[in-house]
Amino acid sequence: MIYTASTTAIVVFVVFVGFVLGISFYLGRKAKSAQGYFAAHGQIGWFVNGVAFAGDYLSAASFLGICGMIAFYGYDGFLYSIGYLAGWVVALFVIAEPIKRLGKFTFADALNANYNSRAIQIAAAISTLVVSIFYLIPQMVGAGALCTPLLGLPHWAGVVIVGIVVLMIVVTAGMVSTTWVQFIKGSMLVVFCAFLTIAILGRGFRVTASRDALKPVTVTNPKDIPYGGQVVDIGSAGTTPGASTGPLGPIEFFRRINDVKVVQWTIKPDAATPGASIYTPVEKPVSDLMLPGGSSTFKGVRSSKLVDKLDFISLMIALFAGTASLPHILIRYYTVKDAAAARKSTVVGIASIGFFYILTLYLGLGAMTSGALDPTPAGSNMAAPLLARTFGELPFAIISAIAFTTVLGTVSGLIMAASGAVAHDLMENVFKHHPNENAKVGAAKWTAIAVGIVAIILGTLFKDFNVTFLVGWAFNVAASANLPALVMLLFWKRTTRAGIVSAIWVGMLSSLTWLMLSGPAYTNIYKLDASRAIAPFSQPGLVTIPLGFIVLVVVSLMTRKATDLRAV
Amino acid sequence: MISGMSDPSPRQDSRHTIARNARYGLWLFFVYVIFYAGFVAISAFKFDALRADVGGVNLAVAYGMGLILLAFLLALVYMTMTRNDSTRDSGDAGDSRDSRPEGRA
């Protein structure tokens, strides 16, 4: 049986969540004003903010999803690591300093800094809401997936627990407590994953099962599901169970893994017995898995069709362009004092996030060769915790609790971004309703509760979706809707307010429409054949990001006269 | 509890400083884009090249790790190249309200 109830896990879990909530309540006493609630008084130090970037950004999808994807499909999970980190280059070199100078609380503030336009505020606020809610879904789904094996609770209960705990964090002290939760979580995640990587290197590769012992099995009871990730051959060191390479260096690890052969299980329903599945062992050399294209998401890399290659390129562009367009990341720039602090904190963020993404390859490959995986599709999200369990019950408990706080940190940031969009951008700047500070913070808190409830409902509805895949969708929408407006505002002096507004709407609606007409939406949402999909490939970024730029330029040139008049 | 390291006081930077920082940022951005685009192009159109041996690991692993390290390296270069007026004595207060980078004013 792969999952067993663990008292240690539950105790560590409760202690972690209690610790995080305690800090939130303690710091919450200090944040009463709107400046405190939305931007932590702009007084967060650059180092803390940099690590909080990591805590904000390294979501459940990054941590659980990437490790699981590497464990199941090899190199493909690492492509996400590469793309997610590359996005920070855009954030540091292009966006960080100007966004800090232009804005006050939200991304809409920055876009609107030179225009004072209600239409820009509405478009930017709606885009913030859409992107944040899109991004919230996979986080909530990840939380539910984690709670089932860890605490023995049903999926919906996990989603509700995360929703309630996050709302307690956000409602108590907004950005102050959110920042500290993200700082603690970011530090713990990076440090503990580093320890786990050292343990993986210290153990080296070992044969976990005999090739002859692995035979097809028919499973009717989930308790009989066989362990995945069995190592049957480690090259010159042998094929006898228990044989080991001994400790390996970080580079030697990649050299020696080319000699390793693992057994993965293919799962098919048993035609003879309803409800039963046949698990068949398939032996694979890991060297074959160390190249991109093993999973369905990236299979386009190995395809001879141009359309499939464009799909791959499109996703890599969306990952590259999406990070600097995510509202919950952008609002972190308002918690520091000035542009220099914004830049320094981004460098700290890149260092911690980059270091973590390098670790993901060791963790994923460690899980792939751990002999302890859950081979079912839902088990991919549990690869990292199950890997930790091969080192003992306590590491399992700690990594599961860290994964849970990972969800808390990211969801808090997302709900903050959404509540800022409604209470600050829409209520105050669009409808010109100017409440006093207390009422404004109150409105933001009520918005946070409303968004939290929406997130709980969506997290329950989308429970069968692949977590990492949904995050890819959020990156596409964010990059298409926000990046053209942000970049052109900064670097093209002829940009007009109409250009910005139309670029946001066109980018957002075109990418959403494309996604809803793509093969994965046909399969997963409408339960139709993917070949009937209208969109030529599934990832829209390659088309809709340039479309946003083109619309902005054309509309700006067409409306330039009006802007000139306004300037006079 | 760590309260972080922060600069003594926030101050607006001069237009010159902003423009220079933005220019350095764009140069480094383009350097990274070339390497990133190279990786995506090799993966999409020269797949077999990813099998090439680079010091015992394949090109896919070496290039991927290299991209992550390059991002950090360029970030450090950017840190050493950029300055802010709040870190010097000669802040140009006359331009301090201009918040637009180069080419925008």
Q: Which DSSP string corresponds to B42-94?
A: HHHH-GGGGG-EETTEEHHHHHHHHHHHHHHHHHHHHHHH---GGGSS---GG
> Of A458, A379, A381, A374, which Cα lies nearest the Cα of A415?
A458
Residues of chain A neighbouring B3 (CB-CB closer than 8 A):
45, 48
Of B6, B29, B50, the CB nearest to A90: B29
* Nearest-CA distance A494 → chain B (Å): 8
CB contact under 8 A, A490 and B29: no
Q: Looking at chain B from residue 7 to 46, which residues have their Cβ under 8 Å from any Cβ of chain A?
A: 7, 9-13, 18, 21-22, 25-26, 28-29, 32, 36, 39-40, 43-45
Per CB-CB distance under 8 Å, the chain A contacts of B76 are 347
B-interface mutation test, from A35, A76, A93, most B Cβ less than 10 A away: A93
* Structure ipTM over 0.90, yes or no: no
Rounded to an integer, what distance in angstroms lies between the CA atom of residue A116 and that of residue A112?
6
Q: Which of A165, A190, A222, A198 is nearest to A16 (CA)?
A: A165
By CA distance, what is B75's nearest residue in A? A347
State residue A63's pLDDT score.
81
For chain A, helix (H) and strand (E) counts, in that order, are 23, 4
Q: Residue A545, CB half-sphere, CA atoms under 13 Å: how many? A: 23
Question: A122 CA to chain B: closest CA distance, Å?
Answer: 23
The reply to whether B78 touches chain A by the CB within 8 Å rule is: yes
Q: Distance between CA A493 and CA A499 in Å, rounded?
A: 12
Structure letter (DSSP) for residue A93: I
Mutate to test the interface with B, among A97, A191, A334 (most CBs of B within 10 A): A97
Q: Which residues contact A4 (CB under 8 A, 6 or more apart)?
A: none
Partner-chain contact A343 B101, CB within 8 Å: no
pLDDT of residue A568: 38
Q: pTM score, two decimals? A: 0.86
Q: Which residues of B touch A488 (CB under 8 A)?
A: none
In this structure, what are the phi and psi dihedrals at residue A146, rounded to the nearest 5 degrees?
-75, -35
Packing angle of the helix pair A467-491, A541-558 (nearest 10 deg): 30
> CA B20, CA B29: separation in Å to the nearest integer?
14
With an 8 Å Cβ cutoff, is B50 touching chain A? yes
Contact B51 A291 (CB under 8 A): yes
A79 contacts B64? CB cut-off 8 A: yes
B81 versus A440: the higher-pLDDT residue is B81
CB A41 within 8 A of CB A31: yes
pLDDT string in tens for chain A (568-residue length): 466 667 777 888 788 878 877 876 777 666 566 777 777 767 777 888 888 888 888 887 678 888 999 999 999 999 999 999 999 898 888 888 888 888 777 888 888 888 888 899 889 889 988 888 888 888 888 888 777 777 777 888 888 888 888 888 777 767 777 788 888 888 989 999 999 999 999 999 999 988 888 888 888 888 888 898 899 889 888 888 888 999 999 999 999 999 999 999 999 988 888 888 899 999 999 998 999 988 878 888 888 889 889 989 999 999 999 888 888 888 888 877 778 888 888 899 999 999 999 999 999 999 999 988 888 877 787 888 889 989 988 888 888 888 888 887 788 878 888 888 877 777 776 666 666 777 777 888 888 888 889 989 988 888 776 677 778 888 899 999 999 998 998 888 899 999 999 999 999 999 999 999 998 888 877 888 888 888 888 889 999 999 999 999 999 999 976 545 444 3
The mean pLDDT value of chain B amounts to 75
Contacts of B43 in chain A (CB under 8 A): 292, 301, 312
CB pair distance less than 8 Å for A94 and B29: yes
- Closest CA in chain B for residue A488: B104
Out of A290, A300, A317, the one facing B58 most closely (by C-beta) is A290
Strand order in the sheet with A260-269: A217-219, A277-285, A260-269, A230-234
Measured in angstroms, the CA of B92 and the nearest CA of chain A are apart by 15
What is the band of B90 on the pLDDT scale with cuts at 50, 70, 90?
very low
Helix (H, G, I), strand (E, B) or coil at A192: helix
Return the structure tokens found at B60: 């896919």
Q: Is B2 on the interface with A (CB under 8 A)?
A: yes
Residue among B9, B28, B67 minimizing CB distance to A86 = B67
**Closest by CA position to A281, among listed A361, A205, A373:** A373
The rounded distance, in Å, linking the Cα atoms of A284 and A41 is: 54
Residue B12: per-residue pLDDT: 62
Cα-Cα-Cα-Cα dihedral of A248, A352, A185, A404, to 10°? -60
